[in-house]
Amino acid sequence: MTDFSSLTLTEVLTGLKAKDFTAVELAGATVSAAEAAQGALNAFTMIDGERAREMAKASDARIAKGEGGALEGAPIAIKDLFAVKGVTTTASSNILAGFKPEYESTVTQNLWDQGAVFFAKTSMDEFAMGSSNETANTGPVINPWRANGSDEKLVPGGSSGGSATALSAGISYGATGTDTGGSIRQPAAFTGLVGVKPTYGRCSRWGVVAFASSLDHPGPFGKTVKDTALLTQVMSGHDPKDSTSYPGAVPDWVSAVGKSVKGLRIGVPKEYRMEGMPAEIETLWSQGVEWLKAAGCEIVDISLPMTKYALPAYYIIAPAEASSNLARYDGMRFGARVEGEDLIDTYEKTRGAGFGQEVQRRILIGTYVLSAGYYDAYYLKALKVRRKIYEDFNEAFEKVDAILTPTTPSAAFAIGSKAKADPIEMYLNDIFTVTANIAGVPAMSVPAGLDAQGLPLGLQVITRALDEETMFKVGAALEDSASFKAKPEKWW
């Protein structure tokens, strides 16, 4: 019998086409694996075996006729931020308990149009606000990886930790995520996966529950660079329903994987050498530089001087947009409602009971920085800093084709070790990733090695806007050199 858990998306698609197994068999194995792991990993908000079997049956019929899309028959996990018609969509929040949209997000519709099979929604930090997947209303998601000789439960990263866990544990073959400040790339680094944040506007935000509209980027997780190139290609495309959607055609990124990187200029920004950065991260980064040099790239030292202001600017802009976006959750039209003595009391009780502590914290910060007395001092200044960061990248990309940095300042950490002690310490996990969101440029994390405890670490590739082709080329070159084959030892 086929060991489905070890297969990549590309291998699954090849096997289905060759009729080595059926989509129904694959869907059944996936649903069984998800149900068996849920008690230990807590990766899913819901599992829908019936829908998975129906979609898989339709895929088998198309494959039998020699038809089918680019993802025909492949089970894909969906972050619980994407609307799937008739399926509970909660953003892992009590305030959306029981909400079933009557519409389909554009990204998920693109996946279904190409034959992907839906089997589950994945847990996340509530409203995508978090870096550890500990703020979900259903409790923390557990990373399938463990440190050598330890039973301590680790975070999978956030906010898309459920998607990363489902894929890393060998349950799914691809997964959707959203990246507002690093919420795809950081979980990918923590779980030994490839995670991609495309250019802002490549993937439609229509039907995706909003956190910070100018920073939210839908994107995929994959086991390989080729898998993510295919998923990004399918998920992307112009959408007239999203005014920020890029109107250009979607290039063939799959064909970019494996192409030579000889002659490319790779920038190494000095500002990413942070004080107190673990030696293992520095060593891995240097190793990445050597790998690309050996592949024929030219290494260029560059400066991104506004980097130190990126995190403060992000934690003004993102909460400000969140406080505006989340104003719609008032218990009136959809989601949970707590009855009060009058309208205002109902609003207050609904939002007080519906939103978790981290979401409330960010709404309060956002409302504060947008208030009349502080708008100029905080929000307007943060927008000016954002512009400067964007200009930093533009200037850098006049000299280089891609930028190489670490993805995270550490490997996965223990559940509860940062969230309760100091929220600011948790925010620092996004220090290497937020700049790409602020500038709207594409970035990906590629698994590149293990730390001394046997936990995965990632390297980040950033390229100029709309140049995902170079990003996938460089990412694939790193993947080839790193030859990362490690997988979590099954304990769940």
Do the beta carbons of residue 461 and residue 440 sit within 8 Å? no
Q: Catalytic one among 159, 168, 172, 204?
A: 159
Tokens of 348: 């207050």
244: phi then psi, degrees, rounded to nearest 5: -100, 5
- Catalytic, 260? Answer no
* CA 194 to chain CA mean position, Å: 10
- Catalytic, 483? Answer no
Q: Catalytic one among 59, 163, 183, 445?
A: 183
CA 364, 370, 374, 377 dihedral sign is positive
Q: Catalytic one among 59, 79, 204, 236?
A: 79
Do the beta carbons of residue 266 and residue 299 sit within 8 Å? yes
- Catalytic, 159? Answer yes
- Closest to 305 in 3D by CA, of 200, 396, 400: 396
Residue by residue, what is the 3-state secondary structure of the chain? CCCHHHCCHHHHHHHHHCCCCCHHHHHHHHHHHHHHHHHHHCCEEEECHHHHHHHHHHHHHHHHCCCCCCCCCCEEEEECCECCCCCCCCCCCHHHCCCCCCCCCHHHHHHHHCCCEEEEEECCCHHHCCCCCCCCCCCCCCCCCCCCCCCCCECCCCCCHHHHHHHHCCCCCCEEEEECCCCCHHHHHHHCCEEEECCCCCCCCCCECCCCCCCCEEEEEECCHHHHHHHHHHHCCCCCCCCCCCCCCCCCCHHHCCCCCCCCEEEEEHHHCCCCCCHHHHHHHHHHHHHHHHCCCEEEEECCHHHHHHHHHHHHHHHHHHHHHHHHCCCCCCCCCCCCCCHHHHHHHHHHHHCCHHHHHHHHHHHHHHCCCCHHHHHHHHHHHHHHHHHHHHHHCCCCCEEEEECCCCCCCECCCCCCCCHHHHHHHHCCCHHHHHHCCCEEEEEEEECCCCCEEEEEEEECCCCHHHHHHHHHHHHHHHCCCCCCCCCC
Tokens of 195: 């995670």
Q: Which residues are catalytic?
A: 79, 159, 183
